[in-house]
Amino acid sequence: MNEEKVFCTYCGKEAEWVENKEIYGRNYGKSYMCWLCRDCEAFVGCHNNTKRPLGTFANRELRSLRKQVHLYIDQFWKSGQLKRAWVYSRVSKELGFQYHTGESTIETCKKVLALPYEFFDPKPKKISPVIGRDEVAKFHNFVDGDD
């Protein structure tokens, strides 16, 4: 095994490759290895328990925002009203770059959360939101989803 090093993007210190039970108390997901910076409480999950980071480092604030984005935009395809790929390509087109929630910054998350329901509506009044915007905004769960 080659010695791979990953550095925290917040403080620049070397991150530790650990199981995510270090963060959650128990392991979450089938790929539970992650790179963790204890000083910043920032981490990034890994691809299939390898050392390859999946996305970018996120601290508590960014994780909370990413979770809110998932709650907000995933409701449209999870409810079967729209296709997942369509939702993400719509957001990517609006932002002007390929959008992945796992790579998003605080600024990007806020932009996505500011998009109105109508933005996701291919035809007026075709979609009906499952989760209200207030509920999304109040969400502050520490546990991250996959992606």
Where does this chain bind Zn ion (CB under 5 A)?
8, 10-11, 37, 39-40
Residue 40 tokens, joined: 């910043």
Nearer to Zn ion, 34 or 73 (CB): 34
Between 6 and 40, name the residue whose CB sits nearer to Zn ion.
40
Residue number with CB closer to Zn ion (13 or 93): 13
Smallest gap from Cβ 6 to Zn ion, in A, equals 11
Closest CB to Zn ion among residues 13, 140: 13
The answer to whether residues 67 and 144 touch, using CB atoms and an 8 Å cutoff, is yes
Q: How far is the CB of 28 from Zn ion (least distance, A)?
A: 21
- For residues 57 and 103, give the distance between their C-alpha atoms in angstroms, rounded to a whole number: 8
Residue nearest to Zn ion (CB): 8
Q: Which of 70, 75, 138, 72 is nearest to 104 (CA)?
A: 70
Give least dist CB 25 to Zn ion, A: 21
Distance of CA 106 to the CA centre of its chain: 11
Least gap, CB of 125 to Zn ion (angstroms): 46
DSSP string, 42-56: EEEEBGGGSS-B-S-
